[in-house]
């Protein structure tokens, strides 16, 4: 209808502008690379378009590129992205010069609908506060012993499922099984809650939450390559509508268990 075609022509015009912007950006970046600063930049081996093209196999795409270069750049409008598999660079970013490498405002914008003010979204003082809370969880010896037990238990469960399927000559989605084993383990360790996605039914609360969280992470990733995601969020269409629905499932589950835990604590029940 009329409204839709107007939206479409606005989108097309915006896409045209984006292409122009990219051409301009490439000429600036390549121009700069060609003159003085060439050595200061890791090699540019692709663009955001390659990422979109390889969206369904991004990790394989990056791995192929890493075989050629430990550190490389992918170009996108307005900025370059740097990817590294070099331990020295990782140490520089995560440790030696950590304070110079915030995640940034734009990252916060793209992720906070799902992660809120959590450790994956924020920088600076908010990050420090989250880090401090998390470090209580991850530093004690008791936790290390506890997590060992959890991983063992879920590995045994996984082995049972695999051998049952093998004995019955049933095909299985191995990646999904590994994902479930990981999700169950991490969740039990971090939140003291067994989602039991490994052997539970897909309709169970834990499995619904895990599936919603998995989908939501994927839709959040799409925002990084879809420059028009805010338009879709505003119109509540497509991936953004699906994302909103998944976040609702995630939030309801999380708040329900936070409330239950708070009640337990005020009733004096120990962990």
Q: Which residues bind ligand NAG (CB under 6 A)?
A: 97, 100, 104, 106-107, 110, 223-227, 229
**Closest distance to ligand NAG from the beta carbon of 237 (Å):** 16
**Closest distance to ligand NAG from the beta carbon of 223 (Å):** 5
Count the neighbouring beta carbons within 10 Å of the beta carbon of residue 58: 14
**Which residues have C-beta within 8 Å of that of residue 189, sequence separation ≥ 6?**
143, 146, 147, 150
| Closer Cβ to ligand NAG, 208 or 223, answer by number | 223
Gap between the Cα atoms of 129 and 119, Å rounded:
9
| Closer Cβ to ligand NAG, 116 or 148, answer by number | 116
**Closest distance to ligand NAG from the beta carbon of 91 (Å):** 11
Gap between the Cα atoms of 126 and 119, Å rounded:
8
**Closest distance to ligand NAG from the beta carbon of 218 (Å):** 14
| Closer Cβ to ligand NAG, 38 or 88, answer by number | 88
| Closer Cβ to ligand NAG, 104 or 124, answer by number | 104
Gap between the Cα atoms of 122 and 116, Å rounded:
9
Gap between the Cα atoms of 219 and 242, Å rounded:
8
Gap between the Cα atoms of 46 and 54, Å rounded:
11
> With left for phi above 0 and alpha for psi between -120 and 50, is residue 104 left, alpha or beta?
left
Helix (H) / strand (E) element for 79: namely strand 79-84
| Closer Cβ to ligand NAG, 211 or 227, answer by number | 227
**Closest distance to ligand NAG from the beta carbon of 77 (Å):** 7
Gap between the Cα atoms of 111 and 206, Å rounded:
23
Q: Pseudo-torsion of CA 92, 94, 99, 104, nearest 10°?
A: 120
**Closest distance to ligand NAG from the beta carbon of 117 (Å):** 17
HSE of 235 in the Cβ direction (CA atoms, 13 Å)? 11
| Closer Cβ to ligand NAG, 13 or 159, answer by number | 13
**Closest distance to ligand NAG from the beta carbon of 127 (Å):** 15
| Closer Cβ to ligand NAG, 138 or 234, answer by number | 234
**Closest distance to ligand NAG from the beta carbon of 224 (Å):** 5
Q: Which two tokens stand for residue 246?
A: 């998944």
| Closer Cβ to ligand NAG, 42 or 200, answer by number | 42
Strands 44-47 and 71-76, sheet pairing: parallel
């Amino acid at each position: 209808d009329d409204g839709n075609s107007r939206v479409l022509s606005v989108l097309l015009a915006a896409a045209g502008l984006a292409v122009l912007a990219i051409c301009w950006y490439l000429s600036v970046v390549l121009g700069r690379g060609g003159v003085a600063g060439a050595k200061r930049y890791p090699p540019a081996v692709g663009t955001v378009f390659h990422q979109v093209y390889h969206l369904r196999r991004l990790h394989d795409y990056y791995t192929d590129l890493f075989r050629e270069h430990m550190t490389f750049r992918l170009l996108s409008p307005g900025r370059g992205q740097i990817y590294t598999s070099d331990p020295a660079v990782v140490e520089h970013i995560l440790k030696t010069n950590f304070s110079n490498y915030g995640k940034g405002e734009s990252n916060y914008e793209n992720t906070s609908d799902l992660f809120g003010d959590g450790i994956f979204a924020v920088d600076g003082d908010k990050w420090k506060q989250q880090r401090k809370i998390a470090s209580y969880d991850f530093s004690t010896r008791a936790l290390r012993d506890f997590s060992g037990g959890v991983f063992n238990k879920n590995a045994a469960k996984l082995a049972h499922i695999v051998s049952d399927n093998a004995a019955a000559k049933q095909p299985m989605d191995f990646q999904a099984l590994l994902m479930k084993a990981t999700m169950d383990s991490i969740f039990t360790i971090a939140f003291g809650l067994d989602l039991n996605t490994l052997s539970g039914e897909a309709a169970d609360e834990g499995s619904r939450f895990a599936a919603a969280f998995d989908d939501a992470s994927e839709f959040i990733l799409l925002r990084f390559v879809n420059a028009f995601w805010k338009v879709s969020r505003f119109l509540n269409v497509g991936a953004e509508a699906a994302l909103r629905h998944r976040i609702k499932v995630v939030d309801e589950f999380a708040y329900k268990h936070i409330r239950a835990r708070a009640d337990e604590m005020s009733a004096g029940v120990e962990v």
